[in-house]
Amino acid sequence: MDARINRIRTKLSMLPDAEKAVLGPVLTEAQISEFEDTHGVRLPEEFRRFLTRIGHGGYGPTYGLLPMEKWTGQPGTARLAEPFPIVPDLDVPTGPDDRGDLTGSFPGTIEVVYRGCSDSTLLVVTGPGRGRLVEANGEGFFAPRFHADPDFLSWYERWLDFVLTGHHNLNWFADQMAGSEVQLVATLLGDELPARRRAAAYTFITHPEPSVDLPGRLLRALTTEPHPAVRETILRALAAQGEHGRDLLTRALTDPVPGVRALAAILMTTRTPQAWHLPPRLREVLGRHLANETDDSVRDAISRTLDLT
């Protein structure tokens, strides 16, 4: 645990001045205990370590870490002793929150990052996901989904690593995971949990300096992946690998799931300052496929792609 504290301190000191990486002062044990006694809980140990050894509020994802007085600002988060009921990683949430019982109310959690509008990153204090971070929307626009990190210190260190190594777009951070290219490929090809396989695929969308072999490895994962939502994410990762990756998207036009086929067609395009662009070879492939495609939604996606470019 102490090694992680020291690593985080070192990485914070390595950030460029433009990051404005300032944290508030650490909290005392008495301050934390008073909060815990008020709400009838004990904060996860890794979070407590962060607060007492590194800092409190300030630099972090999106608008930064919230201070203690704002932890219970999200409706329902004041009920910290009630369990947050979702078990981590059992499924892969892909759409609106259809549970109904959590819309606008997230018991057992504190809000650690406000992400804008009704989006928040929550820390589970009570429940089966205790210690994990959860992405949530107060209006139910998407179902709560767990970050891949096992605890707060791992999550925060990953944020620092992503900033320091130059990930291309930190807006994907909540859906990604830590790891080298080799480790991420191993997760994508071999992890038993689809949520973790999808997190690995998401990470390749912004992963800095990918190897020349990565598109082929992503294609291998695409052809063996059983979960449609993970296959869709692999398509996004392929599209992020440039021209060679987008050429490989044609392999997904035979996918049994219409949504996957439609997404493959849409991702073949790129946007320039002047217009959308579709290479002639991919235009030809889509034109041929359109003649044989039987699903109306896929036909519509292909037609719109061809018309757009």
CA-nearest of 93, 70, 82, 80 to 37 is: 80
Give the residues across from 119 on adjacent strands: 116, 137
Q: Indicate the DSSP class of residue 41.
A: -
Across the chain, which distance is largest between two alpha carbons, in Å?
70
Kindly report the average pLDDT of the chain as a whole number: 93
Which residue type occupies 205?
I
Query: In the structure encoding, which two tokens stand for residue 157, read together?
Result: 């260190």
Query: In the structure encoding, which two tokens stand for residue 233, read together?
Result: 């994410």
Angle between helices 258-267 and 296-308 (to 10 degrees): 0
Length reported for the chain: 309
Q: Residue 12 in 3-state DSSP?
A: helix
Give the residues across from 110 on adjacent strands: 123
Q: Do 29 and 52 contact (CB within 8 A), yes or no?
A: yes
State yes or no: pLDDT of 100 exceeds 90. Answer: no
Confidence of residue 97 (pLDDT cuts 50, 70, 90): low
Confidence of residue 46 (pLDDT cuts 50, 70, 90): very high
Residue 61: exposed, middle, or buried by beta-carbon count in 10 A (0-12, 13-18, 19+)? Answer: buried
Residue 189: exposed, middle, or buried by beta-carbon count in 10 A (0-12, 13-18, 19+)? Answer: middle
Query: In the structure encoding, which two tokens stand for residue 234, read together?
Result: 């692999």
Q: Look at residue 105 in the predicted model and tell me its pLDDT.
A: 78
Q: Look at residue 275 in the predicted model and tell me its pLDDT.
A: 86
298 or 272: which leads in pLDDT: 298
Dump pLDDT digits (tens) for 108-167: 999 999 988 888 999 999 999 999 999 998 888 888 999 999 999 999 999 999 999 999
User: Distance between CA atoms of 46 and 5, rounded to whole angstroms?
Assistant: 10
User: Distance between CA atoms of 293 and 253, rounded to whole angstroms?
Assistant: 9
Confidence of residue 75 (pLDDT cuts 50, 70, 90): low
Q: Which helix (H) or strand (E) holds 124?
A: strand 119-124
Share of the chain above pLDDT 90, in %: 83
Q: Look at residue 287 in the predicted model and tell me its pLDDT.
A: 96
Q: What is the mean pLDDT of residues 56-74?
A: 90
Radius of gyration of the chain (CA): 21
User: Distance between CA atoms of 274 and 280, rounded to whole angstroms?
Assistant: 17
Confidence of residue 206 (pLDDT cuts 50, 70, 90): very high
Give the residues across from 122 on adjacent strands: 111, 134
User: Distance between CA atoms of 250 and 201, rounded to whole angstroms?
Assistant: 18
C-alpha 253: how far from chain center: 26
Q: Alpha helix (H) ranges present in the chain?
A: 2-14, 29-39, 45-53, 152-165, 181-190, 194-206, 214-224, 228-239, 243-248, 258-267, 280-292, 296-308
Q: Look at residue 308 in the predicted model and tell me its pLDDT.
A: 86
Dump pLDDT digits (tens) for 161-193: 999 999 988 999 999 999 999 999 999 999 999
Q: What is the mean pLDDT of residues 83-94?
A: 89
Dump pLDDT digits (tens) for 287-296: 999 999 999 9
Q: Do 84 and 136 contact (CB within 8 A), yes or no?
A: no
